[in-house]
Amino acid sequence: MASSIHISKLHIFVLLVLCSCFLHNTYVANSATSSLDRDKQTLIYIKSQTITQPPDALATWDPNTSPCNWTRVLCAARRDQRVVGLDLSSLRISGPVNPHIGKLSFLRTLQLQENQFQGILPETITDLLRLRVLNISFNNIQGAIPPNISRCIELRVVDFNQNELSGSIPEELTRLVNLQTLNLARNNLSGSIPPSIGNLSSLLTLKLGTNMLSGPIPAEVSRLRNLKNLDLIINNLIGTIPPSVYNMSSLESLAVASNYLSGDIPYNVGDTLPNLLVFNFCINKFTGTIPGSLHNLTNIRLIRMKHNRLHGTVPPGLGNLPELEMYNIGYNYIVSSRGEGLDFLYPLVNSTKLDFLAIDGNGFDGVIPKFIGNLSKTLRMLYMGSNQISGSIPPSIGQLKGLALLNLSFNSISGEIPTEIGQLVGLEELVLGKNKLTSNIPNSLGNLGKLAQIDLSSNELGGSIPTSFKAFEKLTSMDLSMNKLNGSIPIEIFDLPSLTTILNLSSNSLTGSLPQKIGNLERVVTVDLLNNRLSGNIPNSIQSCKSLEHLIISKNSFSGSIPDGLGELNGLTTLDLSSNQLSGSIPLDLEKLNALQFLNLSFNNLEGNVPSNGIFSNLTRVDVEGNPNLCHDSKCKTNGTNKLVMILVATIALVFVIALISIALFYYFRRNVVTPKDTFDSFKGRHYMVTYDELRLATKNFDEDSLIGRGSFGSVYKGCINIEGQAREIAVKVLDMETTGSLPSFLAECAALRHLRHRNLVKLITSCSSLDQRNKEFLALVYEYMKNESLEKWIRKGMRLVDRLNVAIDVACGLSYLHHECVVAPVVHCDLKPSNVLLDEDLTAKLGDFGLASM
């Protein structure tokens, strides 16, 4: 009986346990279902607020099915099956990030990259406490990084690359001690790099490049002992790299390009960073020599040190780099070893993966060696310009079948262009300008069907332009200027469909007429035919060149009238028809060219009224000199009444000129001044073209040692530039583009000096409008250099009475010219002071700094 009762109690206990388990599982199942339903409802709401491309990208998100079966949704494998992954990448979603995402509390991975999200990141993102991967890269997210993101302590990956985030890097972000990847590159972040970044001890990748970060690199970065990838490029970082950073032996990529970093690169950097694959130090202010230990890194792939202040020679060891893909040491002060020339490149024949080689902008000499053709067959980019290379181009260069770019410009290379260059059928850019190449342009260049840019300018090439150029179906830019080319312009040139940037055939001896087919160049921006022997009428079809901004056909023999169709070219900013034989009246349609900044119609046979509206209302931007039959409204008279007046005026003018010559001769002999040779004779009749890189080299990278003065709108540097084979001293006035008023000052000075020529005015040689090495706007004016500097200096030193008198006379003569003798209109200097009176080597005074001039 007792045994029976015991068994019954045991049965009851087991039954209760089973019931309890069943009820628990039922509760858990119901709870899990309820939680998953909440996730489902959240996702359905997000879908209702989202437009995707393609539109059916989320078609599987059906309210009647489990979200665990939906595309782009990942659920946990456990029984609770909560949503742990959401991938909405690459769907071109726009608008703000939906704040309801913060309700998916079990999310571990959130991928929103490659969309068009805008606005600020919702604060609800920081409620995702289990989140491990947060990727919103390649969007347009704005505002600051939420400091509360530090709550997401499980985060391993934070990728905010390529957005519009601003503000500083929050200190709270550095509390994410589990973080392995932090990518904040390509945003608008400012401030300094927080030293607490060294707390992220698990970090493998740190990318802060392409922002506006400033200050020094904190030494605490070196505490990241596991770091493999450090990217700080394109910021405003200053100072030296902390020595401890060079001891981060785990580093595989060290990139600090495009900052303001300085100091020597340690000679043993290759020994202390043995795992380095990427070494990117370009566009900084690093000094010293190239560390030879870099050439011991047998696995290194990329070495970039372009645009620094490195000197010396290239150290040995280039043959130890079998994995090398890029070697860029351009624009430094590196030279060849004595008698070696370019032979130091020979060991690179072992680098069979070499893709990019740049040694341009240095002081290398010698000839291009024949072994150049034995370099890697995968070599695509070869930059050797702006050196002192001489000799001829070896035919073996045709063996580099992989070349897409060949730049040998700004050297002293002579001889013919080898026909073998025509074998480089993959070539996209051929830049051989500013050399001493002779003979004809080879027809074989017509084989370069992929060519997008050809620059053979400033050589001594003769013959005609090859008709084989018609094969350049992808050509966007052609510059054959400043050669000795003759014959007519091949009509095939005007059938090139992709010619959209530049057609520059100026300063040759081309003849014939301009064909009607010029109208086919509907997308070309610049046509420059200056200084040739072209004749005939300007074709009316030119009005079809709707993208034209610069049309320069001066110093030819064009005749007939100015076509009315020029008034249809609404984008024109420069129109120069000067020094031709054009006749008739000035078309009134030119008044409609609102974008026009400079109009030169001088020295033609134009007649009638000069229009008064549009650009003609500002005479500083119009030159009509040398057209005796042109007149302005208030001065147009009948010929019969004024013939006698004209004769009288001519007679009086002749007497006045004779008197002026007599006075000038008197002062000349009294002062016994030997007139110096015009430093820049070669500029007569044309403007010398100068590039940013030429000015950078001329001023030693705008070094402080070259600085000779600072003004309210910029700095002035002394430089030396090679002009037509002769070294000339120049003064380069570089405008500070961050200073309010610098651009108007630049334009005012250009406008004031464009027509001014007088022995007592500082000669403006040329100007430069370009982009600097940081891809920012660069404006500079290039003047003749005044060896005796300013009058202000001499006043302090003391001057002889006779010198003071001579300076006073010079200043008076200069002012008299400005006020009474200018061709276009009187000029008022507006800023005359001793520091703006400059003295040449003979103490002849010259007025300078026309930034405040008014005309």
Q: What's at 626, amino acid-wise?
A: G
Hey, how many other C-beta atoms are within 10 angstroms of the C-beta on 738?
A: 7
59-84 tens-digit pLDDT? 999 999 999 999 999 999 876 789 99
Angle CA(220)–CA(225)–CA(229) in degrees, nearest 5?
Answer: 90
721: left (phi over 0), alpha (psi -120 to 50) or beta: beta
Is residue 139's pLDDT more than 70? yes
Rounded mean pLDDT, 155-165: 98
Largest CA distance in the chain: 157
One domain for residues 784 and 717: yes
Please report the pLDDT score of residue 767 as a whole number: 83
Identify the band that residue 835 occupies on the pLDDT scale cut at 50, 70 and 90.
confident
286: in domain: no
How many helices and strands, by DSSP H and E, does the chain display?
Answer: 7, 53
Hey, how many other C-beta atoms are within 10 angstroms of the C-beta on 63?
A: 11
One domain for residues 698 and 814: yes
Report which secondary-structure segment, H or E, holds 726. strand 726-735
262-277 tens-digit pLDDT? 999 999 999 999 999 9
Q: What's at 808, amino acid-wise?
A: A
Spatial distance between the Cα atoms of 352 and 699, rounded to a whole number of angstroms: 37
* CATH code, domain with 836: 1.10.510.10
Please report the pLDDT score of residue 761 as a whole number: 86
564: in domain: no
8 A C-beta contact, residue 411 and residue 389: yes
- For residue 749, the number of C-alpha atoms closer than 13 Å in the C-beta half-sphere is 29
Spatial distance between the Cα atoms of 740 and 466, rounded to a whole number of angstroms: 49
φ/ψ (deg, to 5) at 399: -80, -15
One domain for residues 649 and 783: no
740: in domain: yes
Spatial distance between the Cα atoms of 376 and 346, rounded to a whole number of angstroms: 11
8 A C-beta contact, residue 434 and residue 412: no
8 A C-beta contact, residue 779 and residue 735: yes
Closest CA to 296 of 266, 314, 318, 329: 318
One domain for residues 665 and 693: no
Please report the pLDDT score of residue 787 as a whole number: 86
Closest CA to 126 of 112, 110, 114, 140: 110
96-119 tens-digit pLDDT? 999 999 999 999 999 999 999 999
8 A C-beta contact, residue 104 and residue 80: no
Q: What's at 556, amino acid-wise?
A: N
Spatial distance between the Cα atoms of 454 and 472, rounded to a whole number of angstroms: 10
Angle CA(666)–CA(670)–CA(672) in degrees, nearest 5?
Answer: 115
Closest CA to 152 of 181, 173, 122, 121: 173
Please report the pLDDT score of residue 724 as a whole number: 59
Spatial distance between the Cα atoms of 803 and 844, rounded to a whole number of angstroms: 9
* Residue spans of beta strands (DSSP E) within 48-89: 73-75, 83-87
Mean pLDDT of the chain: 87
Q: Which residues of 250-285 are buried (b: 16+ CB within 10 A; e: fewer)?
A: ebbbbbbbbbebeeebbeebbebbeebbbbbbbbbb
One domain for residues 807 and 836: yes
Range in 172-176, 768-772, 783-787 with the lowest mean pLDDT: 768-772
Q: Sort strands 302-304 and 326-328 into parallel, antiparallel or unpaired.
A: parallel
553: in domain: no
8 A C-beta contact, residue 818 and residue 828: yes
301-350 tens-digit pLDDT? 999 999 999 999 999 999 999 999 999 999 999 999 998 999 999 999 99
Q: Which domain does 101 fall in, by range?
A: 34-136
Range in 668-672, 800-804, 821-825 with the lowest mean pLDDT: 668-672
153: in domain: no
Rounded mean pLDDT, 784-810: 83
Please report the pLDDT score of residue 12 as a whole number: 60
Q: Sort strands 205-207 and 229-231 into parallel, antiparallel or unpaired.
A: parallel
Q: Which residue has the higher pLDDT, 413 or 33?
A: 413
Please report the pLDDT score of residue 778 as a whole number: 82
Number of domains in the chain: 3
Angle CA(434)–CA(439)–CA(442) in degrees, nearest 5?
Answer: 95
112: in domain: yes
Which of 653, 671, 689 corresponds to the end of one domain? 671
Please report the pLDDT score of residue 108 as a whole number: 97
Report which secondary-structure segment, H or E, holds 407. strand 405-407
Spatial distance between the Cα atoms of 545 and 563, rounded to a whole number of angstroms: 13
One domain for residues 784 and 754: yes
Rounded mean pLDDT, 746-756: 62
Spatial distance between the Cα atoms of 754 and 620, rounded to a whole number of angstroms: 9
By three-state DSSP, how is residue 556 classified? Answer: coil
245-299 tens-digit pLDDT? 999 999 999 999 999 999 999 999 999 999 999 999 999 999 999 999 999 999 9
Is residue 678's pLDDT more than 60? no
* Active-site residue flag, 840: no
* CATH code, domain with 44: 3.80.10.10
Identify the band that residue 488 occupies on the pLDDT scale cut at 50, 70 and 90.
very high
Spatial distance between the Cα atoms of 189 and 234, rounded to a whole number of angstroms: 12
Q: What's at 99, amino acid-wise?
A: P
Catalytic residue among 80, 87, 803, 831: 831
Please report the pLDDT score of residue 683 as a whole number: 37
One domain for residues 664 and 807: no
773: in domain: yes
One domain for residues 830 and 715: yes
One domain for residues 656 and 718: no
Range in 6-10, 44-48, 521-525, 690-694 with the lowest mean pLDDT: 6-10
Identify the band that residue 764 occupies on the pLDDT scale cut at 50, 70 and 90.
confident
Say what the alpha-carbon torsion angle 41, 46, 48, 53 is, to the nearest 10 degrees.
-140
8 A C-beta contact, residue 376 and residue 403: no
8 A C-beta contact, residue 788 and residue 810: no
Dig out the tokens for 246 from the structure.
């060079």
Binding residues: 733
One domain for residues 649 and 715: no
381-436 tens-digit pLDDT? 999 999 999 999 999 999 999 999 999 999 999 999 999 999 999 999 999 999 99
Please report the pLDDT score of residue 738 as a whole number: 66
One domain for residues 703 and 757: yes
Residue 336 β-bridge partners: none
Q: What's at 674, amino acid-wise?
A: V
Q: What residue has token string 């003769």?
A: 462
By three-state DSSP, how is residue 317 classified? Answer: coil
Which of 113, 136, 159 corresponds to the end of one domain? 136
Peptide bond into 611 cis (omega under 30): no
341-374 tens-digit pLDDT? 999 999 999 999 999 999 999 999 999 999 999 9
Binding residues for ATP: 733
8 A C-beta contact, residue 253 and residue 228: yes
Q: What's at 775, amino acid-wise?
A: N
Spatial distance between the Cα atoms of 186 and 143, rounded to a whole number of angstroms: 14
One domain for residues 723 and 810: yes
Please report the pLDDT score of residue 645 as a whole number: 42
Please report the pLDDT score of residue 329 as a whole number: 98
Spatial distance between the Cα atoms of 412 and 365, rounded to a whole number of angstroms: 10
Spatial distance between the Cα atoms of 535 and 248, rounded to a whole number of angstroms: 69
701-750 tens-digit pLDDT? 888 788 888 776 678 899 888 765 667 889 998 887 765 455 656 665 66
* Residue spans of beta strands (DSSP E) within 41-101: 73-75, 83-87, 94-96
Residues 6+ away with beta carbon under 8 Å from 295: 270, 315, 316, 317, 318, 320, 321
Is residue 852's pLDDT more than 80? no
Please report the pLDDT score of residue 640 as a whole number: 42
Residue 609 β-bridge partners: 631
Q: How many residues in total does the chain contain?
A: 855
Dig out the tokens for 353 from the structure.
């993966």
Q: What's at 269, amino acid-wise?
A: V
- For residue 827, the number of C-alpha atoms closer than 13 Å in the C-beta half-sphere is 31
Spatial distance between the Cα atoms of 362 and 313, rounded to a whole number of angstroms: 10
Closest CA to 578 of 519, 536, 622: 622
φ/ψ (deg, to 5) at 553: -130, 25
Which of 105, 121, 136 corresponds to the end of one domain? 136
Residues 6+ away with beta carbon under 8 Å from 144: 120, 165, 166, 167, 168, 170
795: in domain: yes
Identify the band that residue 754 occupies on the pLDDT scale cut at 50, 70 and 90.
low
